[in-house]
Amino acid sequence: MERQFDLIIIGSGAGLNAVGALADQGLKVAVIEKGPLGGTCLNRGCIPSKMLIHSADVIEVIKNAHQFGIRVKGYEVDFGSIVKRVTESVDGDSREIEMNLKGSENPLLYKNECRFIGHKTLQVGKDVIKADKILIASGGRPLVPDIDGLAESGFITSDEALRLKKQPKMLTVLGGGYISVEMAHFFGSLGTKINIVEKHNTLVYREDEEVSQKFTELFRQRYNVLTGFEPVKVAKKGEDFEVTVRGEGNKTNVIRSDQLLVATGRIPNSDGLDVDNTGVKTDEKGFVIADEFLETNVKGIFALGDAVGHYLFRHSANLESEYNFYNIIDPSNKVPVDYNVMPHAIFSSPQIAGVGKTEQQLRAEKVDYAVGKHNYIDTGMGQAIEDRSGFVKILVEKNTKKILGCHILGSDAATLIHEVLVAMKSGDGSVRNITRTVHIHPAMSEVIQRAAGAVG
C-alpha cells in the first residue's frame, strides 16, 4: 500500500514536540516509531536514570545523617522495588503516548521499522509512504567498541542497566563519561563495588580541568578508578567477567566482576535508515549533516537531536524541535538555530553542571580572561549542608566582564547554574547581571554571587 503525506517524522522523542501543532496547521502527518513511544530520554535515558539516581541520593542522605547528629540504625535496599518503580512509571507514560497517537488519524502512527527506498520514499513494514517534508529524529544508541571477546561476553549497556532485575555485587564500567559516572553513583551507592576503566587521565575529561580533576579525586575515594587504561580483552569465566586492561608502558591488569557495563559513548541510528537512498549525506561518524536551519542537503528533509549530534542532550533536541516547526511551516523565512548558552549537567555525586568555554579552551584560544571562584563551604548554606568539596568557577572576558563559561561541582549544581544561564542571555551577558542582583541569605545561590564577585 502506498500513501502520500505532507510530513513524515521518523522517531517519537523530541520529534513529537511539535507534531500536534504541525497537524493543526493542516499538514497530513505520519509518525514512525519501531520501539516504545517517547524516544531515548523517556525509555532508556534521562528520565529512568534520574529516577533511579534519586534512590541513590536518598541512600547518601541516610549514610551521611551522622554528620548532622542523626543516628540511623540501618536500612535495606530493595533493588527490585527501586527498578520496578521506575519501569512502571516510564512504561506507563510510553503507553499513554502510544494510545493517544493510535486514537488519532492525523498524525497517523506507524509502529514498525523503516528505511528509505528512494527519494523521500520510505518502506514501513509492508507499506510505502512518501512526503515532500521529512523530519529525521531517529535518535542514537550506545557505542560498542571493538574489543577482543566483548561481543560474545554478554555485557550490558545503559539500555539494560536501567532495567536490571538483579543488583550486581561488583560492576566494571568501561568508559569514564557522564553515563559511566551516573551509573557508578547509582549502583555504588546501593552497595555494588565499582571498577571504572577510562583511557584518559581523568573522568569526565571534557569538563573544565579543575572540575574533572577534583571529581576524579573524589571518585577514587569511593571506587576503583583506573585512568590511563584501555580495555584490550574481555573473557567470561563461569558467571564472571575478566577484563584485561593496558596502561602506560604496556602495563596490564585483569579486573574481575559479575557484571560488565559498556559506557563508551553513543552513535546515531541513521545507519539503519539507508538515508543515502534519498540522497541525505552523513559525516564519518554517521551523523546526518544539517545546516544552520537543521535542513539536510536534500531540500525538505530536516533532522534533529542525536541524529545530527550537535549536542546529545534532550534539552537541545527540544530547542531544535522548535526551529524545525518554524522552518518546516515557513521554509521561505527559515530561522537559524540559536545554540548560544547551551548547558549540561551530570547527575552523579557530586553533581556537575557546566556551560560555555572551559579554562583549557580559553587558554588554547589565547583569550584574555579572568576567573572568579568560590567554595561551597565558605557560604552559610555550604556549612549547613557540609559540602566541603563543592565550588563554582566563572570565566569572563577580562575587559567587558562578559561571561564566557561557568562550571560547578557540588550539591544541586544542575539547579544552581540556571542563574548563570539567565545572566548570560540577558542584556550584555556580563557578570554584573549576577553581582547587582540581591541574593537571599543564606541560600545556596550565594555561592554563585560570590564567585561572580571574585572575578579579577
Q: Smallest Cα–Cα separation from 137: which of 321, 282, 319?
A: 321
Q: Does the annotation count 344 as an active-site position? A: no
Helix, coil or strand: residue 45: coil
CA–CA dist 11, 15 (Å, integer): 6
**CB-count burial class (<10 Å; 0-12, 13-18, 19+) for 137:** buried
Distance of CA 318 to the CA centre of its chain: 13
How many other C-beta atoms lie within 10 A of the C-beta of residue 141? Answer: 18
- For residue 455 the three cell numbers come to 572575578
Of residues 54, 185, 374, 441, which has the active-site annotation? 441
**CB-count burial class (<10 Å; 0-12, 13-18, 19+) for 399:** exposed
CB 421, CB 402: distance < 8 Å = no
**Which amino acid type is present at position 434?**
I
- For residue 340 the three cell numbers come to 548560544
Helix, coil or strand: residue 32: strand
**Sheet strands (E) in 263-402:** 266-268, 301-303, 344-346, 352-356, 369-375, 391-397
How many other C-beta atoms lie within 10 A of the C-beta of residue 289? Answer: 13
CB 83, CB 168: distance < 8 Å = no
Distance of CA 349 to the CA centre of its chain: 16
Q: What is the DSSP string of 79-118?
A: HHHHHHHHHHHHHHHHHHHHHHHHT-SSSEEE-S-EEEEE
CA–CA dist 388, 227 (Å, integer): 24
Local structure of residue 325 (DSSP, 8 states): H
Residues with a known catalytic role? 441
